[in-house]
Homo-oligomer: A and B are copies of this chain.
Amino acid sequence: MQLGMIGLGRMGFNMARRLIDGGHSVVGYDRAPAQVDALRAASGAGAASVEDMVAQLDAPRAVWVMIPAGPPTTQQIEALAGMLSPGDIVIDGGNSNYRDSLRHAEMLKQRGLHFLDVGVSGGVWGYTEGFCMMAGGDPQVFATVEPILKTLAPEQGYRHVGPNGAGHFAKMVHNGIEYGMMQAYAEGFEVLRAKQEFGYDLHGLAELWRHGSVVRSWLLDLAADAFGKDADLAAIKGYVADSGEGRWTVQESIDLAVAAPVITLALQMRFLSRQDESFAAKVVAALRNEFGGHAVVKTGT
């Protein structure tokens, strides 16, 4: 089928290519003209603007928005709302907060437009392996765009998971789980490394565990790759960014009064990784000095 794609970055471009490979027709737009040219080179149709893209699509249209979550996505969806016709479908495949998606769905509905919030997992590997997709919205709208989802996903790798909002909420939790899993592996590898007398080969262990162990997973496959390239991760700084979903998972868990200590700690460890020095640690050091006369380490030493 025919799809408009707004955003031809790392994710959007690979999705467009996979769709084209699968026989779909993609009209793509990106604010970077080079990305549009690249899509044309990959047998897609390029658009000079969102308006141009809309004009090139046959009604009822389906437009996939694949740009940074937050204000950029909201602004783009609001702009689209003014260009589309009743019955058209907007799909947000980005990492939007599900509360935004609930608002977008409501706003579009008031104009007779349909909305699907689709959480997409798979990262840079999606082009070859397929993207795992969690779709929230009306089941009939889902059915309309199912050919697209089927091509993008690996076998059984897409699903209608609930009403609007449910797609992005599920993706949010997925990423929260991912935080916890990554931290679990990370702690384990740090303990192994700290046990210096055993001289562990972390690459070898990661490879070994990939074969038949209880902790085998795709993330472990990636860990094995990473250790294979740089056995001690010497070139990588222990500085971990976070892109929102982990924070949201913790916040939602608090709103729901559900204890999620592992996901939360995984997030907080990222915060700590980004500090040169914890002020809290200074306070504790100062207190120990006050009551116990324990020597503090002076700054600059």
Contact = CB atoms under 8 A, between A and B. Distances in A.
Interface of A: 10, 121-126, 129-132, 134, 136, 153-159, 161-163, 165-166, 169-170, 173-195, 197-201, 204-205, 207-220, 222-223, 225-226, 230, 233-241, 243, 247, 249-254, 256-274, 277-294, 296-299, 301
Contacts of A214: 121-123, 132, 174-175, 178, 218-219, 291
B218 A159 contact: no
Contact of A293 (B10, B129, B136, B269): B10
Contacts of A122: 212-214
A251 B253 contact: no
A251 B252 contact: no
Contact of A155 (B175, B211, B220, B269): B211
22 contacts: A123-B214, A125-B291, A132-B209, A157-B212, A162-B199, A163-B197, A173-B188, A181-B217, A185-B287, A186-B283, A188-B260, A191-B256, A191-B258, A193-B279, A194-B257, A194-B279, A223-B286, A237-B296, A240-B285, A251-B251, A259-B272, A270-B281
